[in-house]
Amino acid sequence: MKTILIIEDDAEINHMLSVLLNKHGYTTVSAYSGTEGILVHSAEIDLVLLDLMLPGRSGEEIIADLKKKHNVPVIVLSAVCDVRKKVDLFALGADDYVTKPFHNDELIARIEARLRGASGETEASKRLAFRDIEIDKSNFEAKCAGRQMELSKHEFDLLCLLLENPNRTCTKSIIYDHVWDDENSADDNTLNVHISKLRKKLKECNPEAEYIETVWGIGYRMKKENGD
């Protein structure tokens, strides 16, 4: 079981995050200031959720210290959405950035992605499957209903992301970050076009099936065979 350190001075938000993470199978440790966060950070911690607006030493000031003490992924939580601020935080050592208010599914997906990256990608994790879709990431191959699919890089990455998160909605923000590297290099129209092309290619392989469903206003997810 993975352990996540929550460094957030707002007791209500800290508790909410702890309940959310416990629900998804994580153990949590809570700290309410930057100094306390560094003190409780240890080899038992697998990932840090770090608020920026902390009493005493701010989140920006302690990122390097957290990394030096025990180098695990640090996901920053902040209401500030300025692109330059994000760039500065990455330069300081942050691994990801989630803007408040955030969607719970997005936060959990980002946590899972960072933990996967930290543990290294095994040969098994390079092979993905959902219903009759099969993906071999190492060979850039995708099949549906036994038929080979010809996908562009963005289409392939998009399908991989959806298959890696089969039980949750991938928000547009997550898709932009993982498929186009950042939100500013794509827009809703670009995403819609790629989803449409991907659906068409899946339909060509299996005309009787629907694989990708839209969650209006949020993003996309894989559709269970029974429609659940």
Match 């009787």 to its residue by tokens: 208
pLDDT of residue 224: 83
CA distance 197 to 103: 27
The DSSP output letter for 140 is T
Q: Residue 120's pLDDT is what? A: 57
Q: What is the per-residue pLDDT for 81?
A: 64
Q: What is the pTM of this model?
A: 0.62
- Does CATH number 1.10.3720.10 belong to domain 124-222? no
Residue pLDDT tens, the chain, 228 long: 789 999 999 999 999 999 999 998 899 999 999 999 999 999 899 999 999 889 888 888 899 899 999 899 999 998 776 656 677 888 888 888 888 888 898 899 889 888 877 665 554 557 889 999 999 988 889 999 999 999 999 999 999 989 988 888 888 888 888 888 655 567 889 999 999 999 999 999 999 999 999 999 889 999 987 655
The CATH class of 3-119 is alpha beta
Q: Give the model's pLDDT for residue 79.
A: 79
Q: What is the DSSP string of 73-86?
A: -EEEEES---HHHH
Give the H or E element holding residue 158: helix 153-164
Q: How far is 54 from 6, CA to CA, in rounded Å? A: 12
pLDDT of residue 226: 66
pLDDT at residue 125 in the model = 57
Q: What is the pLDDT of residue 119?
A: 63
Instruction: Tokens 């939580």: give the residue.
Output: 77
According to the model, what pLDDT value does residue 41 have? 94
Can you give the pLDDT at residue 88? 80
Residue 170 host element (H or E): strand 170-171
- Segments making up each domain of the chain, as ranges: 3-119, 124-222
In angstroms, rounded to a whole number, what is the distance separating the alpha carbons of residues 50 and 110?
14
